[in-house]
Structure 1
Amino acid sequence: MLSARLPAAVLATLQLSLSWTFAQTLAPGAETVPAMKLNDVVFRSGLDNTEQRYVELVPVVRPEGRPGDLIIALHGHGSDRWQFIRDARGECRGVRDVAARHRAILVSPDYRARTSWMGPKAEADLVQVITEARRRHQPGKTFITGGSMGGTSALIFTALHPDLIDGVCSLNGTANMLEFDGFKEAVAASYGGTREARPEEYRKRSVELHPEKLTMPVAITTGGKDDIVPPQSALRLAESLRLAGRQALLIHRADGGHSTTYEDTVTAMEFILQAAGR
């Protein structure tokens, strides 16, 4: 376990794929990746036949000597698949830039859109999206990240499907849905009931109760003053991983709130990729 003390600062049935190519510029002073192909994909969920969507950024020039990797980016509460593709906030730019630098394929799904919290339907859709992306792109390794609800969901999905994920980066997420008091109505709708009515559904999505599932590299960022998704459960999970001798990075900002800086995002993402041998 490493703790960063940095300066404060059913395969998819494709119905429609809208795509175009554009140049992506990294942060000032970094290289420019000449072109990325953007595909906005519509597919039918194998779970309930509903129309679902994801966006992917595919580098036109792939890595030399090895297959490119796949990075799944999960948006926060109230957002959608475009957050990690378009948003200028540090977390989103950081993930995009790391993906571009490594010439990785970046996939950002709706995963049941604005109030997911990785309930059973979102989980099934994401399994389908990853399976389809692997079939089409033949990536080397698969990584997952997200912020807030997305950071929570990245941990949940990884614990539920550790065979599909080679590294996880949770930005300001919670690791205990049994104790999390935010967005109760949305979570209940996603999980099929309240935690009193469906305790096992909440329990299996409380990753700090299942740290043994996280055998892959893990990066966690937290803010000590985060009152939207309090950090305590994520900190406990990080400590469990440390005690177990896992490859894990914790970036905790005691004065930080409900966000992760560009620099910390890049550090966290680079950690999981490098720890996985990329």
Structure 2
Amino acid sequence: MLVSQTGRRSGSSPASFSGALAAVAAVALAIAQPGSAQPSASAPQADGPPRFPMRMEPDPRVQQRSYHFADTNEDLAYTVFVSSKVKPGTPAPLIVALHGYGGDSNFIVRGRLVDLAEEGGYIVVGPMGYNATGWYGSPVIVMGGGAVDPPNLTELSEKDVMNVLALARSEFDIDPKRTYLMGHSMGGAGTLFLGQKHPDQWAAIAAIAPAAFMMQPNQKDILAPIKAAHLPLLITQGDQDPVVPVANTRTWSAAMNDLGMEHEYIEMPGRDHGNIIADGMPDIFRFFAAHTKDK
């Protein structure tokens, strides 16, 4: 394992995400963690790109919820997991978990994440991000090209995340010094974006194989508010990832190092875009447990 590999530069330009996204649906079908149910989505169709959203059987420990999204007058799904160690009257740590492109929060709020959340006494919420391809406020990439639909998708996707955060805080006794953000792929890009836009909301953030291609030319501008807020950032990446190439993520590591940020970069040999989720999860929980907001 290569840990805190902050000085390494690939020198390569960002990969074409249009080509990488052609593999997303097939990869998503393989991200079910060991022992979990396989997704019920069909493989990519011969006559065009896969149909979204893809579905995965929920982890039975995770609650399926919805709330009314007033901006568009519709109900939006989200997930909730509450550790058995959470007790009334005792503030609990919270994780907001952002799923990848084409799925829903059941693709990330499951398996190893839930195991570790149970062990650590966490509450976890998984927003939809308005829809399966919302990008959580970060620049939208549309598979196959075409217009962003609806045109204000970035605004709606970001607002859904912040609404679900507010719902968790209104329902549970949440520790404001131990509120964390993580995300995979598209959700990793969302983590970087929402981390820099709302740095006061989080004690630490973690991006898993972040598909932050559109932000890469401005990555130091994205990272600067995270540094200024003294917000710790962890990035995990598999070196065999066919969707988010390791060379791209190494440029984020180099930028964090150049800025002198409080961060870790963990690159795991042999891991791809799917198994990095579960295999990297213990390090994410270790990182979160080590960081509490000062104020």
Correspondence 1:103 to 2:118: no
SS at match of 1:82: helix
Counterpart selection for 2:282 from 256, 259, 266: 266
> How high is the sequence identity, in percent, across the aligned residues?
23
Query: What 5-or-longer segments of structure 1 have no aligned partner?
Result: 6-26, 28-35, 87-92, 180-202
Contact map agreement 2:207 2:234 (CA 8 A) in 1: yes
TM-score, length basis structure 2 = 0.64
Give the Cα separation in 1 of the matches to 2:63 and 2:128: 14
Letter in 2 for 1:266: P
Cα distance, 1:66 vs structure 2? 5.1
Query: What 5-or-longer segments of structure 2 have no aligned partner?
Result: 7-33, 35-59, 137-153
Q: In structure 1, what is the equivalent of residue 165 of structure 2? A: 130
Cα distance, 1:106 vs structure 2? 0.9
Deviation by residue 1:239-270 (Cα, 9 ceiling, x = unmatched): 23233333211111355432316343211331
Cα distance, 1:274 vs structure 2? 1.1
Moved more, 67-76 or 45-54: 45-54
Give the Cα separation in 2 of the matches to 1:272 and 1:242: 20
Cα distance, 1:230 vs structure 2? 2.5
TM-score, length basis structure 1 = 0.68
| Structure 1 or 2: more strand by fraction | 1
SS at match of 1:251: strand
Give the Cα separation in 1 of the matches to 2:112 and 2:192: 19
Give the Cα separation in 1 of the matches to 2:122 and 2:260: 28
Counterpart selection for 1:161 from 193, 198, 211: 198
Q: In structure 2, what is the equivalent of residue 14 of structure 1? A: none
Counterpart selection for 1:42 from 29, 54, 66: 66
Deviation by residue 1:54-93 (Cα, 9 ceiling, x = unmatched): 110112432699521111111111211222234xxxxxx3
Letter in 1 for 2:85: V
Give the Cα separation in 2 of the matches to 1:122 and 1:69: 24
Q: In structure 1, what is the equivalent of residue 95 of structure 2? A: 71
Deviation by residue 1:123-144 (Cα, 9 ceiling, x = unmatched): 0111111112112213112111
Would the alpha carbon gap of residues 120 and 208 (structure 1) be closer, same or farther in structure 2, given more than 3 Å must change?
Answer: farther
Which of the pair has the greater relative contact order for Cα pairs under 8 Å at 6+ separation?
Answer: 2
Correspondence 1:54 to 2:78: yes
Moved more, 135-144 or 121-130: 135-144
Letter in 2 for 1:3: S
Cα distance, 1:276 vs structure 2? 2.8
Q: In structure 2, what is the equivalent of residue 84 of structure 1? A: 108
Give the superposed CA RMSD: 3.1
SS at match of 2:135: coil
Moved more, 223-232 or 112-121: 223-232
